[in-house]
Structure 1
């Protein structure tokens, strides 16, 4: 790919991620949440209680980042952490009633954000976007060796 096309693509992705994160932050601020915390709450709502190390893996975050988020969410009363029965050094993280209610509000905000994000795009494009974006994310996954395979166009 020549530089002009590469630059246009990289700039578009950068611009999209910055704007999406800023809009997410604006929607989350009235809930007293910061970007990233909502994903932790949604993961627990989806899976139920989880060992903190597994939660870190599921979120694709470093364990210290999850620990910090968990502390803040626990202080706000949205989650609780308790020692894992199988390993007292590990913590099980679970939603409180407050966290469950908050996750419901986050789901509504996430729907709003998604609708705003794809306004004006054809339904076929919207349907294809999750697969395309996940392929792009997989291509950039630093946790696996980079493969020089060609992905078929979507």
Structure 2
């Protein structure tokens, strides 16, 4: 049988994820939070005052990209950088009061979208879906690294 990408499960999954992100972004834009920023807010809500290198690893982006993101979010009043009191070479990132409020709104938006996505699923279907996603994640992580050159 001929492979037709538009009929593939991965194409459908990509479409669903794109709709998910679009709807989350739509719900949070009024709080000065832009696409790509929610993971940083959520990580800082879990543990405020992390160093940039740790944050970049945790949200899986390049340190330079994170620096640009933090600068933009500082200008919006969501975050602030402070020098580590024990090591002046290290900068730590903290949520501001506005950032904490925005994080609460991000969590509300994610909860709203989660309910929209899975409101018609039974508990058993949700558990099966979770198991299948975890299996996909595991299978993709097990792929051998691509050889360079």
TM-score by length of structure 2 reads: 0.81
Structure 1 partner of 2:76: 76
Shift of 1:136: 2.8
Flag structure 2 segments of 5+ consecutive residues without an equivalent.
145-149
Structure 1 partner of 2:147: none
Distance verdict in 2 for CA 1:73–1:7, change over 3 Å: same
What secondary structure sits across from 1:3 in the alignment?
coil
**What RMSD, in angstroms, separates the aligned Cα atoms of the two structures?**
2.5
- Write the distance in 2 (CA, Å) between the matches of 1:122 and 1:35: 30
Flag structure 1 segments of 5+ consecutive residues without an equivalent.
148-154
Distance verdict in 2 for CA 1:6–1:15, change over 3 Å: closer
For 1:93-125, what per-residue CA distance to the aligned partner results, in whole angstroms no more than 9, with x for missing partners? Answer: 011111112211211111001111113122222
Matched, 1:11 2:8: no
TM-score by length of structure 1 reads: 0.79
- Write the distance in 2 (CA, Å) between the matches of 1:95 and 1:23: 24
Structure 2 partner of 1:47: 47
Contact 2:24 2:113 in 1 (8 A): yes
Moved over 6 A (4+): none
